[in-house]
């Protein structure tokens, strides 16, 4: 947007300028970082994005005046000299404010005095005062909008899931080899929030050392001794088969050690479908959770494997509250190309969903990554689809693509990632050894919600089908 300022000579007494602004939660987080003001009255927690209990800092309100002075009247080149303010009302999330400035007087030395008022959309006076500025003497024309964008790295979707999981009965969870501080602490935090009831399976000495390093009190939790991580995995699976635990949680061991015990034909936890891993990702700036599968177990899945991978992911999305989740089957291109086998698989999966062979979601593919999640990219390429640009689940062609995608989102886009394995008799909480406590806590919440859904009427019908 091209704007030009008003020089001192051009300004007349009585000149007026206004801007409108709606207070959002992101405004409050950005102001807290910029000002250092961390007063909890001004910082919305999970579920409070529209709460009228949250009020704006008065100086955020006052700062809106500078946007009119610096952008419109007088505009570029203006320097503040002084500002008086009195605050008459509080501003709440969602309030639309109108900021008005009116030239009161022109003084020597290019100084201009202006009356400043801020009102709510209903006319209530929020604040008023007088500004004195040094107006520019030279004409300036600027193209606005070149300020670097900000990304507020909130993980509000995970906060919502954790809040829902806390309302359920704690999920009795065999925690396999929690012999490292982060692996143990994630489970204990979930237990303290009432999401899981952990059974700690592993070397007692190592678990106690990890608890001391993490500052955790584990005195009240059941512990089962195991001499090795492989033995810990076997004993944890046995707990499930004996009905003494409802799910497994990976601690400080390799995934293949745990999955070896889960997949045993005798004494394992094989279910009716192929096992697949789902990353549940809370990506800053994205309006919904993003599920990615399979990025950890199936290296080069066949079409038959992808049917189970897709159905597992849809069922998980349903358990997390998504209604008829939108599934984008990814490839390098969005057209069916015989030379790229993943495009053929994508097209078949889409047709299978259309015919009811994959249930509960809307499946479309092949889609490239850009037009799967960005509506403008989909429009540019002329793709007409209920999924394109709006995908909530991404089915990747192979483990390499999925693993790179998930880790790029985590380490470049600052997403948080929960991890869970589906297709066994119970969900398996499978996180990376590099995952932090929040990721482990969110993974526990996902498992609890999925397990509750499995036992619901809708989940039971899906399992039978």
Is residue 432 a part of any domain in this protein? no
Is residue 283 a part of any domain in this protein? yes
Tokens of 28: 């409050």
With beta carbons less than 8 A apart as the criterion, state whether 32 and 43 touch: yes
- Residue 267, judged by CB atoms within 10 A of its CB (0-12, 13-18, 19+), counts as exposed
153 pLDDT higher than 80 = no
Is residue 113 a part of any domain in this protein? yes
* All residues at 6 or more sequence positions from 376 whose CB lies less than 8 Å from its CB, including other chains: 389
> In which element (H, E) is residue 416 found?
strand 416-422
* All residues at 6 or more sequence positions from 447 whose CB lies less than 8 Å from its CB, including other chains: 171, 173, 196, 247, 249, 420, 427, 429
Instruction: Please tell me the chain's helix, strand, coil percentages from 3-state DSSP, rounded to the nearest 5.
Output: 35, 25, 40
Least confidently predicted of 282-291, 338-347, 359-368: 282-291
230-261 pLDDT, tens digit each: 999 999 999 999 999 999 999 999 999 999 99
400-441 pLDDT, tens digit each: 999 999 999 999 988 999 999 999 999 999 987 777 888 899
Q: How many CB atoms lie within 10 A of CB 303?
A: 14
> What are the angstrom distances between the C-alpha of 293 and each of 70, 402, 414, 429, 432?
49, 7, 19, 15, 15
* Position 50 confidence tier, pLDDT thresholds 50, 70, 90: low
Print burial letters for 392-425: b (CB count within 10 Å at least 16), e (below 16): bbbbbbebebbbebbbebbeeebbbbbbbbbbbb
Count of residues making up the chain: 465
This prediction has a pTM of 0.80
333 vs 285, more confident: 333
CATH number of the structural domain spanning residue 279: 3.40.718.10
Is residue 172 a part of any domain in this protein? no
What is the three-class DSSP state of 454?
A: helix
385 pLDDT higher than 60 = yes
With beta carbons less than 8 A apart as the criterion, state whether 419 and 281 touch: no
72-115 pLDDT, tens digit each: 999 999 999 999 999 999 999 999 999 999 999 999 999 999 99
Q: What beta strand segments (E) does 355-414 contain? A: 362-367, 393-395
What is the three-class DSSP state of 158?
A: helix
Count of structural domains within the chain? 2
d(CA 40, CA 49): 14
CATH number of the structural domain spanning residue 13: 3.10.129.10
459 pLDDT higher than 60 = no
Residues 123-149: what's their mean pLDDT? 89
Task: Point out which residues pair with 250 in neighbouring strands.
Answer: 176
Is residue 351 a part of any domain in this protein? yes
Tokens of 103: 């030239």
164-200 pLDDT, tens digit each: 999 999 999 999 999 999 999 999 999 999 999 999 9
Is residue 232 a part of any domain in this protein? no
Where is the domain boundary, 112, 143, 174?
143
Is residue 254 a part of any domain in this protein? no
With beta carbons less than 8 A apart as the criterion, state whether 312 and 452 touch: no
Mean pLDDT of the chain: 93
* Position 460 confidence tier, pLDDT thresholds 50, 70, 90: low
> What are the angstrom distances between the C-alpha of 336 and each of 133, 145, 311, 341, 367?
63, 40, 22, 9, 9
| Terminal-residue alpha carbon distance, the chain | 57
Strand pairing class (2-4; 141-143): antiparallel
Which pLDDT score is estimated for 464? Answer: 45
Is residue 447 a part of any domain in this protein? no
> What are the angstrom distances between the C-alpha of 438 and each of 140, 158, 282, 332?
49, 9, 11, 32
Residue 44's domain comprises 2-143
* Position 465 confidence tier, pLDDT thresholds 50, 70, 90: very low
| Residue of 185, 275, 239, 195 whose CA lies nearest to 449 | 195
Residues 288-305: what's their mean pLDDT? 96
């Amino acid at each position: 947007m091209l704007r030009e300022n008003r020089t001192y000579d051009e300004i007349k007494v009585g000149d007026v300028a206004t801007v409108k602004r709606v207070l959002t939660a992101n405004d409050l987080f950005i102001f807290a970082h910029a000002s250092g003001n961390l007063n909890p009255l001004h910082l919305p927690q999970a579920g409070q994005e529209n709460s009228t209990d949250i009020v704006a800092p008065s100086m955020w309100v006052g700062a809106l005046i500078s946007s009119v002075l610096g952008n419109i009247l007088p505009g570029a080149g203006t320097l503040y000299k002084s500002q008086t303010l009195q605050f008459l009302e509080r501003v709440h999330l969602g309030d639309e404010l109108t900021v008005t400035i009116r030239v009161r007087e022109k003084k020597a030395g290019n100084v201009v005095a202006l009356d400043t008022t801020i009102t709510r959309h209903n006319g209530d006076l929020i604040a008023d005062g007088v500004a004195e500025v040094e107006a520019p003497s030279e004409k300036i024309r600027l193209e606005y909008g070149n300020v670097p964008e900000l990304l507020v790295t909130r993980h509000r979707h995970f906060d919502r899931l954790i809040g829902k999981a806390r309302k359920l009965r704690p999920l009795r969870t065999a925690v396999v080899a929690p012999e490292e501080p982060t692996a143990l602490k994630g489970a204990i935090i979930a237990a303290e929030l009432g999401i899981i009831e952990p059974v700690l399976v592993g070397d007692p000495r190592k678990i106690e050392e990890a608890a001391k390093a993490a500052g955790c009190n584990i005195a009240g939790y059941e512990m089962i001794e195991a001499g090795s991580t492989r033995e810990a995995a076997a004993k944890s699976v046995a707990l499930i088969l004996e009905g003494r635990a409802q799910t497994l949680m990976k601690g400080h061991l390799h995934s293949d050690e745990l999955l070896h015990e889960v997949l045993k034909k005798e004494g394992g936890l094989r279910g009716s479908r192929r096992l697949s891993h789902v990353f549940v990702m809370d990506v800053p700036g994205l309006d919904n959770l993003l599920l990615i599968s399979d990025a950890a177990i199936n290296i080069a899945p066949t079409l038959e494997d992808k049917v189970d991978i897709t159905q597992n992911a849809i069922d998980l999305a349903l358990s997390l509250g998504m209604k008829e989740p939108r599934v984008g089957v990814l490839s390098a291109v969005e057209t069916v190309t015989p030379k790229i086998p993943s495009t053929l698989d994508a097209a078949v999966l889409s047709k299978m969903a259309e015919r009811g062979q994959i249930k509960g979601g809307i499946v479309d593919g092949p889609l490239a990554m850009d037009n799967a999640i960005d509506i403008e990219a989909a429009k540019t390429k002329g793709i007409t689809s209920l999924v394109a640009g709006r995908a909530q689940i991404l089915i990747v062609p192979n483990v390499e693509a999925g693993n790179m995608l998930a880790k790029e989102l985590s380490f470049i886009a600052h997403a948080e990632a929960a991890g869970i394995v589906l297709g066994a008799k119970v969900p398996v909480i499978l996180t990376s050894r590099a995952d932090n406590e929040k990721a482990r806590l969110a993974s526990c919440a996902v498992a609890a919600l999925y397990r509750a859904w499995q036992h619901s009427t809708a989940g039971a019908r899906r399992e039978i089908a």
